[in-house]
Amino acid sequence: GFIGSQLAEALVARGDEVVGVDCFTDYYDPSLKEENAANLDVARFDLAEQELELDGIDGVFHLAGQPGVRSFGDVFEDYVRRNLLASRRVFETAAAAGVRVVFASSSSIYGEAERYPTPEDTEPRPISPYGITKLGCEHLANAYAKEFGLDVVVLRYFTFYGPRQRPDMALARVVGALARGASFELYGDGLQSRSFTYVADGVTANIAAMERAPAGSVYNVGGGEEATMRDAIASLEAVSGRSLDLVQLPAAAGDVRRTSADTTRIERDLGWRATTSL
C-alpha cells in the first residue's frame, strides 16, 4: 500500500530483510499495489482468515486495514473484518511469538477532539465507523498486552500524503484533476483543516517506534503544520500553474472539521519530528 511499500523500501535500503503481507483488496485498483510491490517479497493472503508465520521475524509493522472515513452503510462489514478481525490475529500471533508490533492507528479515533493541538491523552470520540474500528484495534492491542504480554506501540497517523497516495485521498484527487484539466469535487466548504504529514516522515516515525519506543506507548504522528483544504488546493494550483474548477458538495458523513497533532510526546521520547513542510 501507500505507506507500507515505502516503509518496506526504507528498511530494505538499510539492510533489513522484509516480507510484506497484503490481500490486494479491491478498495482501489489492485494494479497500483502491484506496482508498489514490484521489488518486494510479498505474501498474499487474508489476515482475517489465515495465521501469520513469525518464525525468524524480529518485528511487525501492522499497517494493513480498510481505510477511509466514509465508512457508513453496508461497507461497515469490510471495516470490521479487515481492521478488527485481522488485527486480532496479528496481535495474538505476535504475542505468542514474543514479537513487537508497531500498529498504525489514526487521528480519526479522536473525532471532533476536545482540544487542539490534540495530545494522546485526549478522550477518543470517533464519529466514523472507520475511526471506531481503529479505536477498537487499539483496545484489542491493550487487551493482548495486559493478558498475553504483547509488546505493542501505537502510532496515530494524521493525514499522510505523498508519492503512491491512495487515489481516493484528497490531495491525490486534486493532483489528478489538475493533470487532466478536470473539475474537482470539494466536500464541505473547504475550510476543514488537517495536520498534513509527508509519508517519508511517517516512515521514520515507524522505524523509531520499532527501535526505541517503550512497550505500550501511544504516539501522534503529525506534520506539525495545519492547513485547510483550500490552502492545500491553492498550493497545488501554484505549483502546477493551473486553476481548479471546484464543484462544491455537502460535507461527507464521518469527516471531522479539524485535526491538529500535538507531537510533544514523540519528540520527547523518540527524538522524532517531521522535517517536510506541506
Q: Which residue has the higher pLDDT, 187 or 47?
A: 187
Task: Please report which confidence band the pLDDT of residue 219 belongs to, taking 50, 70 and 90 as the band edges.
Answer: very high
Q: What is the pLDDT of residue 27?
A: 61
The answer to whether residue 223 scores a pLDDT higher than 90 is yes
Q: What is the pLDDT of residue 70?
A: 64
The answer to whether residue 26 scores a pLDDT higher than 80 is no
- The reply to whether omega before 167 is within 30° of 0 (cis) is no
pLDDT, average across residues 146-172:
95
- CA 255, distance to chain mean position in Å, is 15
pTM: 0.93
Q: Which residues of 87-105 are buried (b: 16+ CB within 10 A; e: fewer)?
A: bbbbbbbbbeeebbbbbbb
Q: What is the pLDDT of residue 71?
A: 61
Q: What is the pLDDT of residue 23?
A: 74
> Residues near 46 by Cβ (< 8 Å), separated by ≥ 6?
23, 86
Least confident of 31-40, 52-61, 175-184: 31-40
Task: Please report which confidence band the pLDDT of residue 69 belongs to, taking 50, 70 and 90 as the band edges.
Answer: low
pLDDT, tens digit (0-9, with 9 covering 90-100), for 227-251: 999 999 999 999 999 999 999 999 9
Q: Which residues of 163-184 are buried (b: 16+ CB within 10 A; e: fewer)?
A: ebbbeebbbbbbbebbeeeeeb
Q: Which residue has the higher pLDDT, 29 or 199?
A: 199
pLDDT, tens digit (0-9, with 9 covering 90-100), for 72-107: 777 888 889 999 999 999 999 999 999 999 999 999
Domain boundaries, the chain: 2-164+198-224+262-270
pLDDT, average across residues 191-212:
98
Taking the C-alpha atoms of residue 6 and residue 104, their distance in angstroms, rounded to an integer, is: 14
Give 2-164+198-224+262-270's CATH code, choosing from 3.40.50.150, 3.40.50.1580, 3.90.1150.10, 3.40.50.720.
3.40.50.720
Instruction: Provide the percentage of residues in the chain whose pLDDT is more than 90.
Output: 76
Answer yes or no: 130 catalytic.
yes
Q: What is the pLDDT of residue 34?
A: 76
The answer to whether residue 203 scores a pLDDT higher than 70 is yes
Catalytic residue among 130, 144, 198, 219: 130
Q: What mean pLDDT, rounded, does the chain reach?
A: 92
pLDDT, average across residues 164-193:
94
